[in-house]
Structure 1
Amino acid sequence: MISSQQLSFLFGRLAIGMSMFGHGLVRLPKLAGFRAWMVGQFEKSILPDIVVIPFSYILPIAEFLVGVFLLIGLFTRQSLIAGALVMIALIFGTTMIEEWGSLGSQLIHAAFFSILLIFEKEYNLFAVDLILERNKSVN
């Protein structure tokens, strides 16, 4: 029988994975526009374009990949860590432009990643990781 903890972990993983997937998916087709928007957001901050421009291209790809991996449960631990690091970078950027309205959402995402990471080993039942682990132990 599937435990409540296993279901809870699955729903949390899918929720945060879908959020990251969606963020990345909508930005990927319009990378140039997203880059221009980000450069505009940071024009009065202390961060130079040499930092903002590469980050604006990396962010949608990172969001998309973290989302895909979490949705299918592949590299779950690494994806949770990567997602938390993305959120830390976003929190830093948000504070640099004093966009306090976005901070709460980013902190909630960071908390999700952190809490799921605590329980990943014990409750990550429905995941490609588990299938790969079983196949590895059979061979």
Structure 2
Amino acid sequence: MNDLTFVILRLAAGASMFGHGLVRLPKLNSFSQWMVGTFEKSMLPKAMVTPFSYLLPIAEFIIGILLLSGLFTKPALIGGSLAMILLIFGSCLIENWEILPSQLIHAAFFAVLLQFSANNTYSLDNLFFNK
């Protein structure tokens, strides 16, 4: 993978995460209520779903900003991967099979980017930390 390909994929993943967080943050309470309602009949207790429903948009927003800027790229990719793994597990628990392809694609993006993170030339990481 060359540097330009890497930055295009990093920006695409970053835009997706940033966009998810951006639209959810202004309506955080209603997003949380929706998620808690969605998991009402799952085996997950409300005490686990509620904090996750508030943290997810914040994590998406921060991960998106970090990937768009190329700052702390590896930790952002790992964080994004963990978020996707949790979302995939949650989707399985509520048998929401339709959303799985999107979540798996995000996870694959994060894994590929992590594998080729040496190509992170066009980034704040490269500017600040590779002197």
TM-score, normalising length from structure 2?
Answer: 0.98
Q: For 1:43 and 1:81, locate their aligned partners in 2 and report how far apart those are by CA, in whole Å.
A: 29
Partner of 1:34 in structure 2? 31
Distance (whole Å) between structure 1 residues aligned to residue 80 and residue 33 of structure 2: 24
Name which of 20, 23, 48 aligns with 1:23.
20
CA distance in 2, matches of 1:63, 1:73: 15
- Residue 129, structure 1, aligned to residue 125, structure 2: yes
**Following TM superposition, by how much is the alpha carbon of 1:94 offset from its aligned partner in structure 2, in angstroms?**
0.3
1:79 pairs, out of 67, 76, 80, with 76
* 1:24, distance to aligned residue in structure 2 (A): 0.3
Q: Distance in 2 between matches of 1:43 and 1:76?
A: 35
Rounded Cα–Cα distance in structure 2 between residues aligned with 1:19 and 1:32? 21
Aligned to 1:5: 2
- The CA distance in 1 between the partners of 2:35 and 2:116, in whole Å, is 34
Unpaired runs of 5+ in structure 1? Answer: none
In the TM superposition, 1:54-69 aligns within 5 A as 54-69=51-66
- Superposed CA RMSD: 0.9
Q: Which runs of 4+ in 1 moved over 6 A?
A: none
Superposition deviation, residue 76 in structure 1: 0.3
Gaps of 5+ in 2: none
Distance 1:116 1:128 in 2: 16
CA distance in 1, matches of 2:66, 2:107: 17
| Identity over aligned pairs, percent | 58
- Structure ID, larger Rg: 1
The residue that corresponds to 2:102 in the other structure is 105
How far apart are residue 5 of structure 1 and its match? 1.0
- Which SS does the other structure have where 1:101 is aligned? coil
Aligned mates of 1:124, 1:132 — CA distance in 2? 12
Counterpart AA for 1:21: F
Q: Normalized against structure 1, the TM-score is what?
A: 0.92
User: How many residue pairs are counted as aligned between the two chains?
Assistant: 131
